[in-house]
Amino acid sequence: MNKFKLAFLFAFSACALGSRAQNLLNLNDWVAGSGGTSALTANGLTSENEREWGVGPLGTQVVLWKAMPSGDGNADGGWNSVDIPINNQKTYRFSVWMKRTNSKSGTAYLGCAPGVNTLAGTINNNPYFWYGNLPELDRWYLLVGYVHGSNDPSTVNYGAIYDGVTGQKVIGMTDFKFASTNTVTRHRSYLYYDNNTDDRQYFYGPRIEEVNGNEPTISSLLNNPVGAGDFYFSGKVGIKTQTPGDYDLAVKGKIRSQEIKVETSGWADYVFEEDYKLPTLTETEKFIQKNGHLPDVPKASEVEANGISLGEMNKILLKKIEELTLQVIQLNKTVVKQSQEIEILKRK
pLDDT tens for 173-228 read 999 999 999 999 999 999 999 999 999 999 999 999 999 988 888 988 998 644 44
Q: 150 φ, ψ to 5°? A: -60, -25
What domain range is 276 assigned to?
A: 268-347
User: Distance between CA atoms of 331 and 337, rounded to whole angstroms?
Assistant: 10
52 and 139 assigned to the same domain: yes
Q: Supply the pTM of this predicted model.
A: 0.65
Q: Are residues 197 and 293 in the same domain?
A: no
Give the contacts of 179 (CB within 8 A, at least 6 positions apart). Answer: 88, 115, 116, 117, 123, 150
Per-residue pLDDT averaged across 316-339, rounded?
89
Between 99 and 261, the higher pLDDT residue: 99
Has residue 278 been placed in a domain? yes
- DSSP one-letter string for 195-234: --TT-EEEEEEEEEEE-SS-SPPHHHHHT-TTS------S
Count of residues in the chain: 348
- Same domain? 273 vs 325: yes
Flag the least confident range among 17-31, 116-130, 131-145.
17-31
> Which of 206, 232, 258 is where one domain is finished?
232
- pLDDT tens column, 255-270: 888 888 878 888 888 8
Residue 311 shares a structural domain with residue 224: no
Q: Check residue 17 and give its pLDDT.
A: 54
Domain identity same for 326 and 219: no
> Quick one: residue 59, left, alpha or beta (phi over 0 = left, psi -120 to 50 = alpha)?
left
**Which of 146-160, 236-250, 332-346 shows the lowest mean pLDDT across its residues?**
236-250
pLDDT of residue 242: 67
Dump pLDDT digits (tens) for 137-160: 999 999 999 999 999 999 999 999
Q: Give the three-state DSSP class for 162.
A: strand
- The structural domain count of the chain equals 2
Look at residue 72 and give its three-state secondary structure: coil
Q: pLDDT value at position 143?
A: 98
Do 100 and 154 belong together in one domain?
Answer: yes
Q: Is 321 found in the same domain as 210?
A: no
Q: Among 127-136, 261-270, 310-319, 323-332, which stretch is predicted with the lowest mean pLDDT?
A: 261-270
d(C-alpha 107, C-alpha 179), whole Å: 28
Q: Which residue has the higher pLDDT, 143 or 15?
A: 143
Please list the residues that pair with 81 across neighbouring strands.
Answer: 40
